[in-house]
Amino acid sequence: MDTQDMKRFLNRIRILYNIDAHEIDGAMEAAGCRILTSEDWQAFRDNPVRFLIRADGPTQRALWSIVQRRDSPRRAAEANAEAERLRDEKADADYLDPDRLREDREADRMDAM
């Protein structure tokens, strides 16, 4: 590993250690993942690298999108595009979800009263 690669690797680890809960929540929501519980947050806060390694694929991708966004402007654009794509997919799924449609109809009915 050359010096530049090592610096980038260490910077990414630093980024992991500096991610806040609200950033994770936003990335998880954008990816259509469940929001971390307080126990999950504590495990992440205590050892983000270990949490990342042990996380499921969608959670890993959500966390990595934060790292990419902070790592460089070019990667930020790619991460933002990916987050937008995931949000759109989730919005499409939510729009077609029968439970969601029923809730929306009920809310509209209550607003009309």
Please give the chain's pLDDT, 113 residues, in tens.
688 888 889 999 999 999 999 899 999 998 888 888 999 999 999 999 999 999 999 999 999 999 988 887 666 667 667 777 777 776 666 556 666 667 777 777 777 77
What is the model's pLDDT at position 75?
Answer: 63
Q: What is the rounded CA–CA span in Å between residue 24 and residue 79?
A: 14
Q: What is the pTM of this model?
A: 0.61
Q: How many domains does the chain have?
A: 1
What is the model's pLDDT at position 92?
Answer: 65
Q: What is the rounded CA–CA span in Å between residue 20 and residue 30?
A: 16
DSSP character for 34?
Answer: P
* Residue showing tokens 């042990």: 54
Q: Could you give phi then psi for residue 33, rounded to 5 degrees? A: -95, 160
Domain that includes residue 8, residue range:
3-112
